[in-house]
Structure 1
């Protein structure tokens, strides 16, 4: 059986006679073919990032990309006179992508050979193959989530956020306030389900049980009035963080069972997990019910254990657990909490659905 190549996460473009037709420094005027413009937009919509490695005058080339209306599609461009292998390596390192997930396209065989020699994991394509690129399996993710479609905007916002943090000189809490963080917690929509499934698969450090829920499982839970499938979305003044949290809650008359809490590691430093837990505790307090949280210890989720304990969950016995369905796995613990209200987060504005009634 032929093994399918890993999906490309970032395509790095040469410019002259590859992305555009003509040589900028010689011709002064270049053109962007319609099919290339369409390919750029299509790859972007699939969540594939794009960058540039070109031997050109930086300002002139970047101004040309802006004039052609495509500059916004490219992250971390490397335009200068050094080896293209160095440029590709730097792009991969800053994105924190493995070299095997990087692709490079160039019209010059010598440039492709130079990249291939120094970075053999990088997949190289001649410019004449551009018309068929979108049909290749490595450029065709099996699922394109809501967040994948805006991956570029999320990365661009992340670069701006990181630069602002490096320049900031005050306390970390003041920097968090300056971000103007807004957290939205709402019931999952059909459009979000593929991202919800991804969160159950890909989060590990901040995943309370490590249990995977398939799309079919999630649709079943959505249709069950006892269950809440909740998605947390985070934004700030720089742009979206995307869907960063998932909460699966089963509601009973005396107790709510938090069957899964998973949050992206990207937002741990913003205190997202604490805000989500405190909100759930407050909702349970208003409903007059106890909270029981499922937790299964893994090699990587000690941080989640700490988060639960810090929120007040304990191993104490309580008859509120009576009648709860058995956990999904026999090694899942059930931690208990009698809810008490919390003060609002000083750094995060919270917009959340009410869980009262139903």
Structure 2
């Protein structure tokens, strides 16, 4: 895919004569136009993160951003006296974004050229293009989900979480307990289709089959009384992780068929995969049915492969698997404990 076709995930702003009018060192009362403010708030509402790469005194520039009421919109700002290419790289690394998803806007051709030279995949824009940014396709996601609107808040919560772990003296399990994790599993609705479709497309390390479901396919599953589309969310004392997983389950008289489990990699360390599997296993045992799970090995989903096997799924055959197609893994009914490191809130499944 060509770079210009890749959606922008983060726009990096220059400050002087780009975000605001004037040069801060020469005129401390630099102003922000209504037009620029509208661009900042609109991109934020679309789930596009924003940051700063500026040659300025950090404290002075940040104080002015706060006075203008826009500091909250910028994550991992890089304000100092180094080259802007280094600032852009630091922002991409901190966010974990590929260079091709980063955009940079600056009024100075030399600054844009310096960034483009070191990072040819970063898209660079003249500040004169500001009025048209929100109408450009790379800044216009086809669908804006509620999850996307909360993206900035999630990243800020993630930074606080990382800082807390760095200063925590106990074990990983003790830290997870301290987070007050709540795993919420809910039946999907029409409003969840876009996010669920995105999860099936983008998750790879924690995707049991690698199969992508389109919006129309998901809507058909939502309308099927013998199927469940379950959306998984996670929150803790720092905030919400948003929708982090999807479960596609088909009911049968003797067996429940777990057709897909996909979980975002950003919550890999929280034990969400094991918690979801244990909940499903326990629910199937209470209903007196076997549980079968589709699994297709890929180059990237070894972690989930291990999670399935630790949960007790085997490749052994059983008559309850007849007619399911493929080679699903089988699990006999057994009760499983709920996770010790989190609270689980979930619906009652068919008994």
Bin of the TM-score, shorter chain as denominator length: over 0.9
Superposed displacement of residue 155, structure 1 = 1.4
Mark the CA change 1:316 to 1:113 in structure 2 (over 3 Å): closer, same or farther: closer
Query: 1:97, 1:300 → 2: CA distance?
Result: 19
Aligned position for 2:43: 43
TM, length-normalised to structure 1: 0.93
1:274-325 residue CA offsets vs partner (Å, 9 max, x unmatched): 0000001111122111111111222222222211111111223322223x44
Unaligned runs of 5+ in 2: none
Structure 1 range deviating more: 9-18 or 220-229? 9-18
The CA deviation string for residues 22-58 of structure 1, in whole angstroms up to 9 with x for no partner, is 2222212122111111111111122211000111111
- The 5-angstrom pairing of residues 1-358 of structure 1 reads 4-322=4-322, 324-326=323-325, 332-357=326-351
* Counterpart Cα distance in 2 of 1:60 and 1:254: 68
* Aligned-partner Cα distance in 1 for 2:103–2:127: 12
SS of alignment partner, residue 26 of structure 1? coil
Counterpart Cα distance in 2 of 1:336 and 1:178: 35
Question: What is the alpha-carbon distance in structure 1 between the residues aligned to residue 341 and residue 25 of structure 2?
Answer: 49
Q: Deviations over 1:173-217 (max 9, x none)?
A: 011011111110011121111111111111112111111111111
- 1:166 Cα deviation (Å)? 1.4
Q: Distance in 1 between matches of 2:273 and 2:29?
A: 52
Worse overlay, 272-281 or 22-31: 22-31
Cα distance in 1 for partners of 2:321, 2:116 equals 60
Preserved contact between residue 3 and residue 121 of structure 2 (Cα < 8 Å): no
Over 3 Å counting, the alpha-carbon distance change for 1:205 and 1:119 in structure 2 is: closer
Kindly state the Cα deviation for residue 350 of structure 1 after the two structures are TM-superposed: 0.7
Count of aligned positions: 350
Counterpart Cα distance in 2 of 1:271 and 1:101: 29
Provide, for residues 209-258 of structure 1, a one-character-per-residue CA deviation record: whole Å limited to 9, x for no partner.
11111111100000000000001001111112111111100011221111
- Give the superposition deviation at 1:336: 1.3
For 1:283 and 1:203, the matched residues in 2 are separated by 25
Q: Is the 8 A contact 2:200 2:210 kept in 1?
A: yes
C-alpha distance in 2 between matches for 1:110 and 1:51: 20
Rounded Cα–Cα distance in structure 2 between residues aligned with 1:3 and 1:88: 17
Separation in 2, partners of 1:127, 1:298: 44
Against the structure 1 CA distance between its residues 342 and 158, is the aligned structure 2 distance closer, same or farther, given a 3 Å change threshold? same
Structure 1: how far apart are the matches of 2:97 and 2:4? 19
Residue 3 of structure 1 and its aligned partner are, at CA, apart by 8.3
- Structure 1 window deviating more from structure 2 (113-122 vs 250-259): it is 113-122
Aligned to 1:329: none
Aligned-partner Cα distance in 1 for 2:202–2:117: 33
- How many Å separate the matches in 1 of 2:248 and 2:54? 47
| TM-score where L is the length of structure 2 | 0.95
Distance 1:345 1:7, change over 3 A: same
Structure 1, gaps ≥5 residues long: 327-331
